[in-house]
Amino acid sequence: MKISAKGRYAIVAMIEMAIHYKDQQTLSLVTLSERLDISKIYLEQVFTLLKKQALVNAIKGSHGGYYLSKKPKEITLLEIMKATEAGLFEGTNETTSIKAPETEVVLIRQVYQPLDEAIEQYLSGKTLEDLQNEVESLRSKNTNMYYI
């Protein structure tokens, strides 16, 4: 499976926002761009999609920025991916429906539908909080390492 840059950037930006959620901090796109080394212009496109799906809210002004619209434990990877990777969740085009309709039915029942369901189940079971906790755990381990 290939996730576009837009989808990957959305996930990492949302993780960064989740880390700062408890501080009730808004994060500007400039700040996110610098922290994550992602183009601000590209982040603007990503955040337009996230805002459209009500995953983030914005405060305008010099001290404004974006913040999560819900708690990190209430935002799933499925929601983020659907906001940025709509094409991944579209139905698969028919392959042989005219000449071999039975084969098409088997493909739908045995391949496409189970695959779609498995992906959606996995992504809906992973929350932003799950990813945030793992990132914070890895960061704390890295800061506790001592080199001689």
Cα–Cα separations (whole angstroms), residue 6 to 38, 59, 122: 11, 22, 20
Rounded CA-CA distance 85/110 in Å is 24
pLDDT in the model for residue 112: 87
Give residue-wise pLDDT tens across range 42-88: 999 999 999 999 999 999 988 889 999 999 999 999 999 999 998 87
Give residue-wise pLDDT tens across range 100-110: 788 888 888 89
CATH classification number, 5-143, choose in 3.40.50.10860, 3.40.1410.10, 1.10.10.10, 1.10.530.10: 1.10.10.10
Give residue-wise pLDDT tens across range 30-44: 999 999 999 999 999
Q: Where are the domains of the chain?
A: 5-143
CA dihedral 21, 42, 8, 115 (to 10 degrees): 120
CB 49 within 8 Å of CB 9: no
